């Protein structure tokens, strides 16, 4: 096993790590694991799965991510876990009472972060900083705070700081912005034809405002004003835009490479992401054979990526939160403002 992890997150089909998967991960040393709803049945099982992955790669701090935004995108939605509200609902509360909306969002983020940290999960891949318009693909919807980049830039820090305080890594997505995409990148290749001026004033704006977020997930969206052919996640041009024009210096991880916006075989997709200059390819689905193919195509993390990861980890706090009490308090805030 290489001492430097591969620039790759792997996924699993089941809630238990098989002996074959354990051996593969021990041999190849992927940076991290992405677990979905299918992998998480209840707290003790989730903890055991995470511990076993970390044992396989030989790193107690190996990152394990999930999708846990609130609303319809929360993979901790079974058993004893409380259900959290969507960003769209917090935006509605903020429209009624901006200070109360920010307070509720911060507390909810702390509670969600503490819940994940207690399980051993490193991140819920949140917040979503995409704008949403009438034409936006339904894949975003209430995951967004709305159409106003200034409102998103004002609410986003409550999520980012709340998660950091609770020891959980925020990952802003989907940089540089999925809001003008009218197609779902899970199924098709969206093309955004807006001008550079328009993008800078709208979709890009929240990501620039919150560019000190330690991690960001890159969209599988074509921005034709910059690169007419390639989605951002596999475009060297868009990598340069994000790094140089937008000024983002944190960790850049692709959205899941299984999504149909990309083309080519799984190994080709891994190489496309890394060849474009991004730090990490996210392979969040698949079986052991697919994980093996992805690992063979990946390469060790660069020194620059390792420094970015370390810088983000150094910002994690250890705030202790009574998750259920905080969740009830948030619900009381919504009730007081008569927001359903």
Q: Write the DSSP string, 252-264.
A: EEEEETTSTTS-S
CATH no., domain 6-337:
3.20.20.300
77 is catalytic: no
Per the residue annotation, which of 67, 203, 227, 255 is the catalytic one?
A: 255
Map out the domains of the chain as residue ranges. 6-337
Q: Give tens-digit pLDDT for 108-145.
A: 999 999 999 999 999 999 999 999 998 888 889 999 99
Are 43 and 35 in contact by the 8 Å Cβ rule? The answer is no
- Burial letters for 292-328: b for 16+ Cβ neighbours within 10 Å, e otherwise? bbbbebbebbeeebbebbeebeebbbeeebebeebbe
Q: Maximum distance among all alpha carbons in the chain?
A: 56
The catalytically annotated residue of 97, 148, 186, 287 is 186
- DSSP-based helix, strand, coil % in the chain, nearest 5: 45, 10, 45
Cα separation, 291 vs 57, in Å, equals 14
Tens-digit pLDDT profile for the chain (340 aa)?
A: 569 999 999 999 999 999 999 999 999 999 999 999 999 999 999 999 999 999 999 999 999 999 999 999 999 998 789 999 999 999 999 999 999 999 999 999 999 999 999 999 999 999 999 999 988 888 899 999 999 999 999 999 999 999 999 999 999 999 999 999 988 888 899 999 999 999 999 999 999 999 999 999 999 999 999 999 999 999 999 999 999 999 999 999 999 999 989 999 999 999 999 999 999 999 998 799 999 999 999 999 999 999 999 999 999 999 999 999 999 999 999 999 887 7
| Residue 163 near residue 112 (C-beta atoms within 8 A) | yes
Is residue 111 within 8 A of residue 327, CB to CB? The reply is: yes
Residue 123 is given by DSSP the state: B
186 is a catalytic site residue: yes
């Amino acid at each position: 096993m290489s001492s430097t992890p591969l620039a790759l997150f792997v996924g699993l089909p089941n809630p238990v790590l098989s002996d074959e998967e354990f051996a593969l991960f021990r041999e190849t040393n992927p940076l991290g694991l992405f677990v979905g709803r299918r992998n998480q049945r209840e707290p003790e099982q989730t903890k055991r799965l995470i511990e076993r992955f970390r044992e396989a790669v030989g790193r107690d701090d190996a990152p394990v991510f999930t999708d846990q935004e609130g609303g319809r995108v929360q993979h901790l939605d079974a058993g004893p876990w409380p259900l959290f509200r969507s960003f769209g609902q917090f935006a509605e509360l903020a429209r009624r009472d901006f200070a109360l909306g920010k307070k509720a969002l911060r507390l909810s983020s702390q509670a969600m972060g503490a819940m994940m940290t207690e399980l051993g999960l490193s991140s819920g891949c949140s917040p979503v900083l995409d704008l949403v318009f009438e034409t936006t693909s339904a894949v975003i919807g209430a995951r967004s705070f709305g159409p106003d980049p200034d409102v998103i830039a004002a609410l986003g820090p409550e999520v980012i700081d709340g998660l950091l305080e609770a020891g959980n890594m925020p990952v802003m997505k989907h940089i540089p912005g999925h809001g003008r995409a009218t197609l779902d990148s899970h199924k098709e290749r969206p093309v955004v034809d807006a001008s550079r001026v328009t993008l800078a004033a709208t979709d890009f704006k929240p990501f620039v405002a919150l560019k000190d977020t330690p991690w960001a997930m890159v969209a599988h969206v074509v921005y034709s004003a910059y690169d007419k052919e390639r989605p951002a996640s596999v475009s060297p041009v868009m990598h340069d835009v994000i790094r140089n024009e937008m000024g983002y210096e944190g960790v850049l991880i692709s959205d899941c490479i299984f999504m149909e916006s990309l083309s080519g075989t799984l190994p080709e997709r891994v190489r496309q992401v890394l060849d474009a200059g991004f730090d990490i390819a996210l392979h969040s689905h698949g079986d052991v054979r697919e994980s093996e193919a992805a690992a063979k195509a990946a390469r060790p993390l660069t020194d620059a990526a390792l420094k970015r990861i370390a810088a983000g980890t150094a910002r994690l706090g250890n705030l202790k939160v009574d998750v259920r009490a905080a969740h009830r308090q948030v619900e009381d805030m919504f009730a007081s403002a008569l927001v359903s």
